[in-house]
Chain A
Amino acid sequence: MNAALPAFGAAVRFQLGAFRRDPGTLLMLATAPFSAVILLSVTQHSGRPDLAPYALLAPAIMTAMGMAVMEAGETIFRDRAAGVLEALLTTPASLAVVLLGRISAITAVSLVGIAESWLVGALGFGVVVTVAHPLVFAATLLATAFGIAATGVLMASVFVMGRDVRSFQNSVTFPLYLLGGAMVPVTLLPAGLEALSRALFLSWATDLLRDSLAPAPVDAFGWRLAAVLGLGAATAAAGFGVMRALVRRVRHNGTVGFA
C-alpha cells in the first residue's frame, strides 16, 4: 500500500498532463453536447418535457463511461507502442494501481459532461433541469464514478492481452449504454436482458440518478446505493484479478511489448 499511493498520485498527474499534450483524448467531451441535442430533441419534439432529465443525464453518463472504456484501451496500446508497458512492469508499482490512477483522472475530467449537458438544455432548448435531491445525486454520482473507473480498469486489463482484442474496444460502449439504462430504464428491456442488466452497477446507478432529479421521494436509497457500490467493487476486484492473471501470462510468454 505504501508503494500504491505514490503510484496512484503519479498516474493521476501523468494523465492530467496527457490531456494537455493531446487534446484529441478529450474527444468525448466535444461530442457530449451533440448527444444532448440529439436525445433532447427527441423528447421535446414528442411533447414530453417530463423526460428532459433523462435526455440530459444520458449524454453525461455515456461520456463518462465512453471515455473510461476508450481511454483505458488507448492507454494500454499507446504504452505498449511506446515501450512504456514493459518498463512499467519492471517497477514495484502495480500496473492495476497505475491504471486505476489514470482512469480515475479520466473519469473525474469526464464529469464535465454533466455541466455540458445541462448547458445544452438551458441555453439550447430553454430546459432547466433541477436536482430535487442534491445529496442523493452527489452520493450516487460519486459511487457511479467509482464504478466507471473500475469498469475502465477491467477493460484495460483485458486489453493487456494483445491487439486482437482491440477490435472489441469500439464494440463495448453501446452494449454498456443499453444494459446500463443510460437513457431508457432497464425495466423497459425484455425480461432476460433486464435480469442481465441488474448485474451491472450502471443500471442501479442510472435509476438512482434519475430518481434523484425527480421531486418524488427516493425509495430504498441506502440499499440501491449499496448495490451501486457493491457491484462497482466487484467490477474493481474482477479488474485487479484479471490484470494480475494476464500480466503474469504476458510476462511468462515474453509478449508484453508485442502481444
Chain B
Amino acid sequence: MNAAAVLRQTAWSGWTDLRSVYTPTNWAFGWMVRVLCQVVFYSMLGTLLGDPERTRFLLVGAAVFIAVNETMMTSASTTWERSSGTLSLLAAAPAGMVLVLAARSWFWIASGTVSASVALVVLAPVFGLDLGVAEALTAVVLIFATALTNYAVGLCCGSLSLRFHQLRNVFANITLLTMTAFCGVMVPTSYWPKGLQWFAELFPAAHGLRAVRLALAGADAGAVLAQVGWAFATAAGWLALASLSLWWFHADARRTGSIDFGD
C-alpha cells in the first residue's frame, strides 16, 4: 500500500472520528458555548481593567488560541488507536504506524479553525474590534495556518501520551498552558524575561498569532508572511521530533512486545 492510499484511508478514519466527537447539537450547544464563554472570560479581563485596547488584544489572543486548544487534542486522539485495539494491528501492518498516527487527527485542524474563526467573528463587534470582510477572511486563513502548524506540537505530545498513557492529558494541557502564558496570548511576549521570549519563539502558535495580530493591525503582507514562514519552519522541527518519537515508540513496542500494555 503506498503512502497516498494510507493517507486516504487515514483521512476517512479521521472523518468518522470527527463525526463521533461532534454532533451538530453538541457542537453548537456544548462545544461552541464553551468556546464563546472562554473567549468572553479572557476578553472581560480588559473590561475589568477598563482598557478597550487591552480588551481587543485579549479577544484576538483568546480566539486564535481556541484553534491551538483544539489541535492540542491531537495528543488524546493519537492514543485512541490503543483504546480501540487497533494499535497492535497497525504495528504489524506493512504500512507501519508512523504515517497513520501522524495524519489520523487532521480533523482537529478543521474543527479548530472553524471554532476559533466563529469566536473571533461573532465576538469582535461585542468587544469593539472593527473587523471588515477582507480582514475577517485573512484572519481565518491565518488561523488555519496556526492550527495546521500547531498540529505538529499536538502530535509530539501524542507520541509521548502513547508511551505514558496515564499522563495523556497532562502533556497536552501543560504545553497548551505554557503556550498561553508565554506566546503573546494575554500579554505581549516582550513582557517576559529574554530567555522566556526565545523559548516562546520555538512554538508555531506564537508566530501564527503574531501573524493574525499584524494582519488585523494593517501591517504589510511581507511582515505577516514572515511570521507564517516562521510558524511553518518551527512546525517542521516539531513534526520531525514527533515522527522520531513515534518511530521510537513503534520500534520499542515491537521489540519488547509491550504495545497493548501501555496502561
Contacts and interface: CB of A to CB of B under 8 A. Distances in A.
Interface of A: 22-24, 27, 30-31, 34-35, 37-39, 41-43, 45-46, 48, 51, 54, 164, 167-168, 170-175, 177-178, 182-185, 188-189
B174 A34 contact: yes
23 contacts: A24-B166, A24-B167, A35-B177, A38-B177, A38-B181, A38-B186, A39-B186, A42-B49, A43-B49, A167-B26, A167-B30, A167-B31, A170-B31, A171-B26, A171-B30, A171-B31, A173-B34, A174-B37, A174-B38, A175-B34, A178-B44, A182-B41, A188-B44
A185 B47 CA distance: 10
Contacts of A43: 45, 49
Given A38-B181, A171-B34, A175-B37, A46 B49 contact: yes
Contacts of B180: 34, 38
B178 interface: yes
Contacts, number: 100
A178 B181 contact: no
A45 B53 CA distance: 13
Contacts of B58: 42
Interface of B: 21-23, 26, 30-31, 33-34, 37-38, 40-41, 44-45, 47-49, 51, 54, 58, 166-170, 173-174, 177-178, 180-181, 185-188, 191
Contacts of B166: 22-24
Nearest to A35: B177
B158 to A, nearest CB: 15
Given A24-B169, A37-B181, A178 B174 contact: no
Contacts of B23: 167
Given A38-B186, A167-B21, A174 B34 contact: yes
A42 B188 CA distance: 10
A183 B40 CA distance: 12
A180 to B, nearest CB: 10
B114 to A, nearest CB: 16
Given A45-B188, A167-B23, 13 more contacts: A22-B166, A34-B181, A37-B181, A42-B45, A42-B49, A42-B54, A48-B49, A167-B26, A174-B41, A178-B37, A178-B44, A183-B44, A184-B48
Contacts of B31: 167, 170-171
B26 A41 contact: no
